[in-house]
Structure 1
Amino acid sequence: MSRTDTPMKPGPRGITWLLHGWFFVCKLNPEEFEKALKDVKDFLDSGIPKYPVCTINAWNEWTEGSYLEPDTVNGMGYLEAVRKVFG
């Protein structure tokens, strides 16, 4: 079963778990995004995943609604959330 067709299950605060330890975080404001990142970091620090790596998609996928790049609504909010959690 590939990662793209693995069944998903709901998780806390807008996080959707994908089996095999993948998280999908969708449509959160910067504050909710920061809380979700903290959950991800706690999971990575727990020792459960064999390879504790976090990949964030994407820098500027504006047309797909997936971006961290500063905007006129949230400013640097998403980037600040990443900095606060992962330093």
Structure 2
Amino acid sequence: MRSIRGFYLNTFLMVVPAVAVSTLIGALNGFALTKFVFPGHRVIFGLIMFGCFTPYQAVLIPMATVLGWLGLAGSLWGLILIHIIYGL
């Protein structure tokens, strides 16, 4: 029987970097979109909102294909990248 300690370690190694990077990028993005008016800021906001309402199933196969091209499929880094993208 495998130890549950290994599962906790894998979860910790995946969640901590994903949450830290998503929080940092999201905070910087939110600050820039609310404080600065620049050409295209409404377009960027619209694209972000479009991404929020896109169903996960609609991007599942393209996302898996891209991870395969990058050589990240089945790796911890690929999982962290997916969680960062969906955390935004």
TM score, norm. by length of structure 2: 0.31
Q: Larger relative contact order (C-alpha < 8 A, sep ≥ 6)?
A: 2
* Larger gyration radius, structure 1 or structure 2: 2
Q: Which has the higher strand share?
A: 1
Structure with the largest fraction of helix: 2
